Structure 1
Amino acid sequence: MAKVKAGDIVKRLSYGGDLLFKVVEVYEDKNIALLKGINIRVLADAPLDDLVIPSKSEVREYKINLIKTYNECLERIYYRRELENERKLIRNNKEENGFFYMPARVLHLDGDEDYLEICLNTYKQLEIEAVGFNIAEKEQPKNIRSLLLEYAPDILVITGHDGLLKSAKDFNNVNSYRNSRFFIESVKEARKIQPSKDELIIFAGACQSYYEGLIKAGANFASSPHRVFIHALDPVMVIERVAFTPISKIISLKEAIEATITGTKGIGGIETRGKYREGLPRSPYE
Structure 2
Amino acid sequence: MEVKIGDIVARKSYECDLLFRVVDIKEKDGEKEAILYGEDVRLMADAPFADLLIVDELERQLREKKEQELIEQSFKLFRQDYHLLKQKTEYRATGGYQTDKDFFHIPGRVLHLDGDPVYLQKCLNLYERIGVPVHGVYCEEKEMPEKIGALLEQVRPDILVVTGHDSYSKSKGKITDLRAYRHSKYFVQTVKEARKKIPHLDQLVIFAGACQSHFESLIRAGANFASSPARVNIHALDPVYIVSRISFTPFIETVNVWDVLRNTLTGEKGLGGVETKGVLRTGMPFRLIQEE
Report sequence identity in percent: 44
Q: Which runs of 4+ in 1 moved over 2 A?
A: 28-31, 79-82, 88-96, 280-286
TM-score (norm 1): 0.94
Give 1:163's match in structure 2, choosing from 161, 164, 167.
167
Query: Does 2:193 align with 1:180?
Result: no
Unaligned runs of 5+ in 2: none
CA contact (8 A) 2:82 2:248 kept: no
CA drift of 1:75 comes to 1.0
The corresponding residue for 1:66 is: 67
Residue deviations 1:15-71, cap 9 Å, x none?
Answer: 111211011112243432111100000100112111011222111111111211111
Q: What amino acid does structure 2 have at the position aligned with 1:165?
A: S
CA distance in 2: counterparts of 1:19 and 1:219, whole angstroms: 28
Instruction: Report if the CA contact (8 A) 1:109-1:132 is conserved.
Output: yes
CA–CA distance in structure 2, aligned partners of residues 256 and 236 of structure 1: 11
Counterpart mapping for 1:227-238 below 5 A: 227-238=231-242
Amino acid at match of 1:235: P
Paired residue type of 1:149? E
Distance in 2 between residues matched to 1:30 and 1:185, nearest whole Å: 34
Correspondence 1:276 to 2:280: yes
1:214 is aligned, of 206, 215, 218, to 218
- Aligned-residue offset at 1:91: 4.4
Matches within 5 A, 1:87-166: 87=86, 91=90, 94=94, 96-166=100-170
Letter in 2 for 1:259: N
Q: Distance in 2 between matches of 1:229 and 1:151?
A: 30
Question: Aligned-residue CA RMSD in angstroms?
Answer: 1.7
Match of 1:264, SS? coil
For 1:17 and 1:181, the matched residues in 2 are separated by 29
Asked if structure 1 preserves the Cα contact closer than 8 Å seen for 2:82 and 2:245, the reply is no
Shift of 1:281: 3.6
Q: Distance in 2 between matches of 1:277 and 1:109?
A: 24
Aligned 1:231-246 pairs, distance under 5 A = 231-246=235-250
AA matched with 1:3: E
1:258 pairs with 2:234? no
Say if 1:166 and 1:5 are closer, same or farther in 2 by CA, change over 3 A: farther
Distance 1:250 1:90, change over 3 A: closer
Partner-residue secondary structure (3-state), 1:202:
strand
- Once the two structures are superposed, the pairs formed by residues 78-89 of structure 1 within 5 Å of their partners are 78-82=79-83, 84=84, 86-87=85-86
The residue type paired with residue 2 of structure 2 is: K
3-state secondary structure, aligned to 2:35? strand
Tell whether the 8 Å contact from 1:91 to 1:101 is kept in structure 2 after alignment. Answer: no
- The CA distance in 2 between the partners of 1:33 and 1:57, in whole Å, is 23
Contact 2:166 / 2:211 at 8 angstroms: preserved in 1? yes
Instruction: Give the equivalent residue in structure 2 for 1:23.
Output: 22
Distance in 2 (CA, whole Å) between partners of 1:136 and 1:91 is 41
Task: Tell me how far 1:241 sits from its aligned partner.
Answer: 1.3
Secondary structure of the residue that 2:255 maps to in structure 1? coil
Shift of 1:234: 0.6
Task: Select between 235-244 and 148-157 the one with higher mean Cα deviation.
Answer: 235-244
Aligned residue pair count:
283
Deviation of 1:282 (Å): 3.5
SS at 1:138 equivalent: helix
Report the Cα distance in structure 1 between the residues aligned to 2:20 and 2:194, rounded to whole angstroms: 32
Structure 1 unaligned segments of length 5 or more: list them. Answer: none
Cα distance in structure 1, aligned partners of 2:170 and 2:56: 29
Residues 39 and 232 of structure 1 are in contact (CA less than 8 Å); yes or no, is this contact kept in structure 2?
yes
